[in-house]
Amino acid sequence: MTTSTMPGGDLGYDRATPARAPALSLRGLTKRYGDRVAVDDLTIDVPAGVVAGFVGPNGAGKTTTMAMLLGLVTPTRGDGTVLGEPLSDPAAYLGGVGALIEGPAFYPALSGARNLAVLATAGGHDLTQVPRLLDLVGLGGRADDRVRRYSFGMKQRLGIAAALLGDPRLLILDEPINGLDPAGVHEMRGLIGRLASGERTVLVSSHVLAELEQVCDWLIVIDGGRVIFQGPAAELLNRTGATLVVAPEHPGDLERLRGLLATAGHDVEVGETQLHVEIGDADPRSLAATINRAAGDGGIVLAELHVARTSLEDRYLTMVKEGGDR
């Protein structure tokens, strides 16, 4: 059995114990506010030990879903389990959950250390971990300053430290990168990556997939309160269809080239000055050679011929657009 060590100190979390159940499993979770449906029949599973990105545009239902997980909002319908305990009994599982939701909220007149001590006491956690957690998030030197003097980024980091009280098995972070400057974003991303090491499950939301792409190994995409995609991040990446970009030397030849390729049975999309040929299961190198030969046979000189992969962000935006069009 091993015990992890994290920057700032050993948090004493046993990461060697194998996961037995999903950290999170929701079935038909729904939340209505009058006529408005904030979360619509949400069914998701998050395996234990992953960093799950919870992605969707503003108003997609991410925060409401997280608030339901944390017992702050009562679902209109649906059920599920969190850390193996029923969603209807937050007191049974919240001891193993740490969260930062809807931005950091602290007592401005108290110091960062005192704020954490108040929360640790309310949660029945060991007070001796407070200095270690403040060091972990880089606030060790400002522990005794009143929170009203903290910058937004510092409050955000204090929020992460508060979420880590009690060394939670499940960490829920709602838009932790929101409002941070580029350096803060970089720092926060690194911090999330470090927190995710071992068996801890992290559910982190954002409306910008690019912010999470580097740290997530599991993705849940929602829009309008409904799930659009859930699964390994790599699976979504594989779904991002690669194309061959083909451009003739003379733009006037674009339509004739399209005709040639379409006649040869290729799936072609027309851009402003380029054609996009779906690669599908074909070998990109062989396909490029075939296209080059066909263009040459037709008397067209190619100025551009290369593979382009749709980014995860593009794929996400397309999914959200498709979801919105439905």
Partner 1 sequence: MIRMFQAELLKLRRRRVAIGVAVAALAFAAVASTAIFLSASPTAAPGDGRAPTVGQLSAAGGATDAFSLGVSFAGILVLVLFIANFAGEFTQGTFRTLLMREPRRVGLLAGKMAALLVFAAGVLLVAEILSGAASALIAPSQDVATSSWFGLDGLGAAATDYVRALAGITAWALLGAALAIFVRSIPVALGIGIVWSGPLEHLTQDAWGAASGWFPGLLLEALAAGGTDDASVGRALTLVGLYVAIAAGAAALVFARRDITA
> Footprint of partner 1 on this chain (CB under 8 A)?
67, 70-74, 90-91, 94, 97, 99, 101-103, 105-110, 114, 117-119, 121-124, 162, 165
Minimal distance, residue 119 CB to partner 1, in Å: 6
Closest approach, Cβ 106 to partner 1, in A, equals: 7
CA distance 138 to 157: 8
Are 160 and 100 contacting, i.e. CB atoms less than 8 angstroms apart?
yes
Contact, 51 vs 206, CB < 8 A?
A: no
* Least spacing, CB of residue 94 vs partner 1, in Å: 5
Q: How far is the CB of 281 from partner 1 (least distance, A)?
A: 48
Pick from 89, 93, 57: which is nearest to 74 by CA?
A: 89
Question: What is the DSSP-derived secondary structure letter of residue 38?
Answer: E
Q: Which is nearer to partner 1, 110 or 282 (CB)?
A: 110
Query: Nearer Cβ to partner 1, position 72 or 305?
Result: 72
Task: Indicate if the alpha-carbon torsion angle 233, 313, 196, 87 is positive or negative.
Answer: negative
Q: Which two tokens stand for residue 194?
A: 């470090």
Which of 27/114 has CB closer to partner 1? 114
Task: Tell me the C-alpha distance between 300 and 293, whole Å.
Answer: 10
Distances from the Cα of 175 to the Cαs of 30, 66, 272, in angstroms?
A: 21, 11, 37
Min dist. Cβ of residue 217 to partner 1 (A): 25
Sign of CA dihedral 228, 231, 237, 240: negative
Minimum distance from residue 158 beta carbon to partner 1 (Å): 11
For partner 1, the closer CB: 99 or 136: 99
Residue 251's identity, in one-letter code, is P
- Considering the complex, state which of residue 8 and residue 104 has its C-beta at the smaller distance from partner 1: 104
**Nearest CB to partner 1, comparing residues 47 and 95:** 95
| Residue 50 CB neighbour total at 10 angstroms | 22
